[in-house]
C-alpha cells in the first residue's frame, strides 16, 4: 500500500497533482487546456529566495572555424544517370527562383548551366548540372554559412546521414523530380515556413537579411526536430516543451549574460533530478564561498554547503534546500559546455523583460511545473510519485524512458504573438552580423564532389634478383 503523500507546503491542496493527472490521462485535444491549468497551481516561491545567486558557469569551447571536408566520389563510384535537357532546365528554373529560399542564384552558376543546356554537349551538361545541384542541395540541407560565421554553434545535425546527396540526385533524375527533391530539403517546422513567407514582403535589405539569417539557422539544425523535445530560444528568453508534436508548456527563461553567453547545442536529455545537489566550479569557489568557509564555517553550513579539503584542494557541494543555487530541479543533459536547465531561488529575474543574467545555464521559471511534466510525460511516473520525491527533500533522479533532444537555439526573428507575421528580437550576443557578412562571400563548399575517374595504373616490371643486388642499381649490396 502506497504511503500517504506528505503535506506539500509549496502547493495549494495538492491541486497541481490533480492537474498533472488530468494532463496525463486526457485525450490530446484536452491536454492544451490541462497545460493551461498548471500556472494556476501557484507553486510558491521559497521563502528563502535569494538574489544574485550563482549557478554553474558555462565551459567555453572554441568556435568551429573550418568546414567539414567534402566527400569525393569518382564518376564511376557515383554512377549517376545522365541529365536530360528537361531536368537541367527544371534545375535552372529552381536556381533562378532560389531567392525565395533565402539563398542567392549566382552561387549556383546559372549562366554556365544555361550555356551547357544550349551547347547540347552531354559531358559538359552532366558536369555543370551535377555541380550546381550538389552545391544547391548542400546549402538547402545544411545551410550556406561557413562554420567560421556560426558563432558558438555546436548543434549536431544528422541530415547528411538521413538524406545523402548522391542517392537524392539519382532519384531526382530517374523520376524527373528535380524541383520537388530540392524543395523537400526545407526544414519541416512551421516557423520556417513563416520566415519564408515573410521574406517575400521584407521592407528593406536589412529586414531581408535578418530573415535570411534565421532561415539559415533552421538549416543548421535537424530538418525534423522530432515530436518530443524541449527547445529554449535564447533571444526570446523562453523554453517550450513539445510532446506529440504539440507545445504543452511554455516557461520564461534566464539565459547567459553577454560575458558568459549560452552556446547553441542539442544534447540528449536523459533524466530530471529533483532536489539536486550543486557541485561548485573552482571559479565560483574562488569568487567568494571559499573565503566564507575559511572565515565563517557556520555561515557556509547554514547556506547548505559541505566541503572537503582546503586551499587549492577545496571541493564544495551545496546540499538540497531552499538556498540551493539549482533550486528544486536540474535537467540532466550531458555536454562539454556544462549547460543545462535548472531552477533558481532568485525568482525576481523572471519579472524582467530582458533576462540575460546567468553564467550560461538556463534558469527555468515555474520549475515544479516543468519538472512535473518531465517526470510524468517523459519518465512515465505518476503525479503521486513525483510529489513524494519533491516532498522528501532528497535528491531523486527520474530517468527518461526514451531520451530526447534539448535544442538550445538562437532565433532573432520568430513568428509574432498574433500569428500574422514576424517579430524581431534583440541580438543579445551579436551573432547575426557574422552571418550577414558571410552573404557577400562564397558559401560553404558542396558536401559531395564528383571527380573524374583516375587514369589506369600501369604496372611496372618487377626487378630481378640480379638487378636488386647489382651495384649502381640502388639495391643493398
Kindly report, residue by residue over 382-411, the tens digit of the pLDDT: 999 999 999 999 999 999 999 999 999 999
Q: What is the model's pLDDT at position 463?
A: 56
How many CB atoms sit inside 10 A of residue 117's CB? 20
51-102 per-position pLDDT tens digit: 444 555 678 899 988 888 899 999 999 999 999 999 999 999 999 999 999 9
Torsion of the alpha carbons at 104, 105, 109 and 110, rounded to the nearest 10 = 180
pLDDT tens digits along 264-297? 999 999 999 999 999 988 888 888 899 999 999 9
Q: Say which DSSP state 170 is in.
A: H
Decide if pLDDT at 40 tops 50. no
Question: What was the pLDDT predicted at 127?
Answer: 96
As a whole number of angstroms, the distance between CA 59 and CA 68 comes to 24
137 Cβ contact partners less than 8 Å away, ≥ 6 residues apart: 165, 168, 169, 181, 182, 185, 446, 447
The pLDDT value recorded for residue 472 is 42
Per-residue pLDDT at 142: 98
Rounded CA gap, 96 and 40, in Å? 53
Q: Hey, which residues does 423 pair with through a beta bridge?
A: 414
Determine if the pTM surpasses 0.75. Answer: yes
Range in 212-221, 223-232, 468-477 with the lowest mean pLDDT: 468-477
Q: Residue 461 has what pLDDT?
A: 61
Quote the percentage of the chain above a pLDDT of 90: 76
pLDDT tens, residue by residue, 120-139: 999 999 999 999 999 999 99
Chain mean position to CA 130: 31
User: CA 42, 46, 47 angle in degrees (round to 5)?
Assistant: 120
Burial 304-338 (b: 16+ CB within 10 A, else e): bbebeeeeeebebebbbbbbbbbbbbbbbbebebe
**For residue 458, how many other CB atoms are within 10 A of its CB?**
5
Please give the angle made by the CA atoms of 440, 441 and 447, to the nearest 5 degrees.
130
Q: Is the pLDDT of residue 18 over 80?
A: no
Residue 14 has pLDDT above 80, yes or no: no
DSSP 220: T
Cβ count near 47 (within 10 Å): 9
Instruction: Determine phi and psi for 237, rounding to 5 degrees.
Output: 55, 40
Question: Across all residues in the chain, what is the average pLDDT?
Answer: 87
Task: Say if residues 34 and 413 touch (Cβ distance below 8 Å).
Answer: no
Amino acid at each position: 500500500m502506497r504511503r500517504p503523500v506528505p503535506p506539500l507546503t509549496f502547493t495549494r491542496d495538492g491541486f497541481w497533482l490533480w492537474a498533472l493527472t488530468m494532463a496525463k490521462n486526457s485525450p490530446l485535444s484536452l491536454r492544451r487546456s490541462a497545460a493551461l491549468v498548471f500556472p494556476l497551481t501557484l507553486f510558491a516561491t521559497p521563502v528563502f529566495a535569494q538574489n544574485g545567486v550563482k549557478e554553474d558557469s558555462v565551459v567555453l569551447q572554441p568556435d568551429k572555424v573550418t568546414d567539414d571536408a567534402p566527400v569525393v566520389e569518382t564518376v564511376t563510384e557515383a554512377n549517376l544517370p545522365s541529365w536530360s535537357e528537361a531536368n537541367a532546365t527544371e534545375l535552372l528554373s529552381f536556381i533562378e527562383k532560389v531567392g525565395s529560399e533565402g539563398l542567392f542564384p549566382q552561387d549556383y552558376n546559372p549562366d554556365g548551366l544555361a550555356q551547357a543546356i544550349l551547347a547540347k554537349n552531354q559531358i559538359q551538361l552532366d558536369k555543370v548540372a551535377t555541380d550546381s545541384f550538389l552545391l544547391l542541395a548542400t546549402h538547402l540541407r545544411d545551410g550556406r554559412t561557413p562554420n567560421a560565421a556560426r558563432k558558438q554553434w555546436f548543434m549536431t545535425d544528422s541530415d547528411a546521414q538521413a538524406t545523402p546527396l548522391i542517392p537524392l540526385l539519382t532519384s531526382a533524375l530517374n523520376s524527373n523530380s528535380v524541383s520537388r527533391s530540392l524543395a523537400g530539403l526545407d526544414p519541416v517546422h512551421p516557423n520556417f515556413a513563416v520566415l519564408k513567407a515573410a521574406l517575400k514582403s521584407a521592407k528593406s535589405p536589412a529586414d531581408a537579411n535578418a530573415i535570411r539569417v534565421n532561415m539559415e539557422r533552421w538549416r543548421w539544425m535537424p530538418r525534423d526536430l522530432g515530436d518530443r523535445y524541449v527547445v529554449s530560444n535564447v533571444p526570446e528568453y523562453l523554453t517550450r516543451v513539445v510532446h506529440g508534436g504539440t507545445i504543452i508548456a511554455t516557461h520564461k527563461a534566464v539565459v547567459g549574460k553577454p560575458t558568459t553567453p549560452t552556446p547553441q547545442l542539442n544534447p540528449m536529455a536523459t533524466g530530471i533530478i529533483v532536489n539536486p545537489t550543486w557541485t561548485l566550479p573552482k571559479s565560483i569557489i574562488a569568487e567568494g564561498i571559499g573565503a566564507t568557509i575559511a572565515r565563517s564555517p557556520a555561515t557556509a553550513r547554514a547556506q547548505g554547503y559541505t566541503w572537503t579539503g582546503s586551499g587549492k584542494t577545496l571541493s564544495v557541494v551545496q546540499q538540497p534546500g531552499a538556498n540551493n543555487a539549482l533550486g528544486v530541479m536540474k535537467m540532466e543533459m550531458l555536454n562539454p559546455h556544462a549547460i543545462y536547465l535548472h531552477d533558481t531561488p532568485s525568482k525576481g529575474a523572471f519579472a524582467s523583460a530582458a533576462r540575460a543574467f546567468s553564467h550560461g545555464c538556463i534558469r527555468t521559471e515555474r520549475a515544479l511545473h516543468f519538472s512535473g511534466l518531465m517526470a510524468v510525460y517523459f519518465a512515465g511516473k505518476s503525479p503521486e510519485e513525483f510529489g513524494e520525491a519533491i516532498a522528501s527533500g532528497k535528491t531523486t533522479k527520474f530517468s527518461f524512458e526514451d531520451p530526447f533532444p534539448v535544442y538550445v537555439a538562437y532565433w532573432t526573428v520568430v513568428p509574432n504573438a498574433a500569428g500574422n507575421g514576424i517579430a524581431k528580437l534583440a541580438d543579445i550576443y551579436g551573432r547575426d552580423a557574422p552571418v550577414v557578412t558571410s552573404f557577400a562571400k562564397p558559401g560553404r563548399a558542396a558536401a559531395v564532389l564528383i571527380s573524374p575517374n583516375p587514369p589506369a595504373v600501369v604496372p611496372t616490371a618487377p626487378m630481378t634478383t640480379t638487378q636488386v643486388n647489382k651495384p649502381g642499381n640502388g639495391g643493398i649490396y
